[in-house]
Each structure stands twice: as structure tokens, then as C-alpha cells.
Amino acid sequence: MRLKGRVSLVTGGERGIGQSIARRFAEEGSDVAIFDMEETGSWRELERLGSRILFSRVDVSDFHAVCEAVSNVIGHFGQLDILVNNAGVTRDTLLLRMKEEDWDRVLAVNLKGAFNMAKAVVREMVRKEYGRVINISSVVGIAGNAGQCNYAASKAGLIGFTKSLAKELAQKGITVNAIAPGFIETRMTQGLKESIRAKFLEHIPMRKLGSPDDVANAALFLASAEARYVTGQVIRVDGGLAI
């Protein structure tokens, strides 16, 4: 029970990677708050693990909504120790076809959303001189990918945000790290044609896709006491894709 007595907040926690992280943290004893735009009901299953769970419908790109929701979380649990910025969207297309709103929405959720969340949460962490901030980036933010200029820019920006915030908060007992997943078996990748999946696999040295649990296990390490001296890092969970 490595997170016993801690309270975690996971954005985009109702499905995919976020859902796996929320479940893993609950299994390790953390109470968990989940922010998401859609409610699938998966958060209710976490209550069976014995942790207290709080779901809120929140658009992380809306600063005022985020501040209000975070205040409710702290009021409900009495504390907030771990933030996982996982919420993200894609609007993939080539730059020549990309609309301004496609660019703006991806940056607003993926990058500004992380700013909004950190801005709302970090003051509580500084007050206690303890905290963990984990940003879910992507190998696309490291290597780029055709047809994803907006997504790659948001995820690369998240890496710069991680390193800068880590330097700001290091002396306050707060670590800030990022995880860069590769191709993970989620609802999005499950819809790919077999020919496209095969092409992806050719570029992965391990010749297989990862699972959301692989990312959740990395997040658990960064959230735990074992990672107390790890900050400003980007951990790739990609089967060797970005080597």
C-alpha cells in the first residue's frame, strides 16, 4: 500500500491510461479524485477497492472551472498530494488541412489544461511542502509525427513545462516528472486497421504495443516514496520506440 494516506487527482481518468492510473493508485491505498468531460461510470468500480473516490465533470481548459473543482476536492478529502495530468485530445490531420480550431483545442486541453491544473493544485502542495506532479506526455512530443503537429507541439510543450516546474518546486518537497508513452493498446489503437498496426509494430523493437497498465506502473513509481529523489525526468514507456 505505497500510497496509503495520500489523495490523488487524475484528469481524463474515466478511460484508457487515466483509468488504469486511477485504479492502480486506488489499489495502493490512495483516495482518488477523477476529472473527466464524460462519465462512463468506471470510477464507481474503484470504490470496491476500499478507497474513497470522487468524480467531477471538468473541462481542464477552463481555468475557473478547474479552480472550483480542485477546491471541492481539497474540501472533500482535506488534502491533495498527487496530480496526474493525463487529460488529452487529438485532432489529427496534415498541417495544410488543419483548421485553427483544431490547433487551439488540442493546445488548450493538452498543454493549457496542465497549466490550469498545476496552478490550482500546487499552492496546496507548497503549503504542506510535499507533492507529486506527473504529466502524461508522449513519444510524439519527442520524435514528432506527420499529421500530428498540434498534438506533438502540445506534448513537447508539456515536457518543457515539466522540467521548468520541477526546478521551481524542487526545494519545496515537490517532484515534477513526465511519462512519454509510445503506442499503447487503447480504444484509439484498437480501431486501427491491421496493416497500420503492423507498420507501427515494425518500428517498435519489442514488436508489441504497450498496455495502459504499463504506464500506470510508471506513474505509481513516480508517485511513491521510492521516487523522492527523481524530478524533472521524462520516462519513456514505449517498448524502445524512441531509442
Task: Please enumerate, by residue number, every residue annotated as part of a binding site for NADP(+).
Answer: 12-15, 86, 151-155, 184
* 90, 138 contact by CB (below 8 A): no
CA dihedral 175, 178, 184, 186 (to 10 degrees): 70
Residue given cell 498541417 in the structure block? 95
Q: Which amino acids are annotated as binding site, given as ranges?
A: 12-15, 86, 151-155, 184
What interhelical angle do 16-27 and 212-223 show, nearest 10? Answer: 50
* Residues taking part in catalysis: 151
Q: Which among 24, 154, 32, 16 has a CA at the least distance from the CA of 82?
A: 32
* Count of beta carbons in the 10 Å neighbourhood of residue 89: 18
CA end-to-end distance (rounded Å), the chain: 33
| Residue 24, amino acid | R
